[in-house]
Amino acid sequence: MDAERRRNPVLAADDELRFERLLPAGEPADAAQIVEAFGLWERPARAPARPRVMLNMVATADGRSTLGGRSGALGGAADRALFHSLRSAVDAVLVGAGTVRTERYGRIIADGAQRELRRRRALSEEPLACIVSKRLALDADIPLLAEPAARVAILTASTASLPATRAQVDYVRAERDGVLDLRAGLATLAQRFSVRTLLCEGGPHLACQLLADGLMDELFLTLSPKLAGGEREGEPALRILAGDELRPPAQLELLAVLRSGSQLFLRYRVLGA
């Protein structure tokens, strides 16, 4: 691989990937330095009632959040670097069951150097993997559930349990009127698992529900330099939010803008959360 990197300047450039800091202005930095400056792992003086929730999503210039049903084709090397660096700085990662199945989620932190970095930040070696699931329709062969080192918390309104898995699985059962009470579930993550910072990676229905319930604090949005089209009458293309219209729309405050090539990386605060 080293010889291949020497022959291929694109691969070599990935080793020294830098983001231009447009807002606030600053010197170019790599993904680790960008996230270091965010200080996401710093603990508040008083334990909050619920975790600080950040959504990390990617979309094409015309608003698509997936291609061929998956998000991986939208990003590039810079997006992947920032994706993994954000994971390295939070207490937990939250994702919907559909996204876990579609994206075939595996171990949250696979890199040993990243796990060591988390130890230095006084964090657990890996974030708690939190899955929102209505029906517990999760196959045991999903890589995350087949990983013995994985710590998984399933947020559900169901009283059922999964068949035995190799991962360590706990349940956060929070039911109200027959559906999952997300606010109560997040409060349990804070109280029972000491989750202070929570990174949501989708899908769009879960992201919309968090916003509708006033549970989202920040948005990290990668704008992919692609136009995908694909919307048909009665079958809209999936965007970063899916579900009922938000009334009123959520208001955002722009905090940061980064650029790598033709990709833009935006950080927003959700106002009123």
- Per-10-residue mean pLDDT of the chain, 273 residues long, equals 34 63 97 94 85 97 88 88 96 97 94 93 95 92 95 96 95 95 98 97 96 97 93 75 94 97 97 85
CB burial of residue 3 (10 Å; 0-12, 13-18, 19+): exposed
pLDDT for residue 272: 86
What domains does the chain contain, in order, with CATH numbers?
2-227+236-270 (3.40.430.10)
Tokens 């994206």 belong to which residue? 103
pLDDT for residue 198: 98
pLDDT for residue 12: 36
pTM: 0.91
pLDDT for residue 9: 36
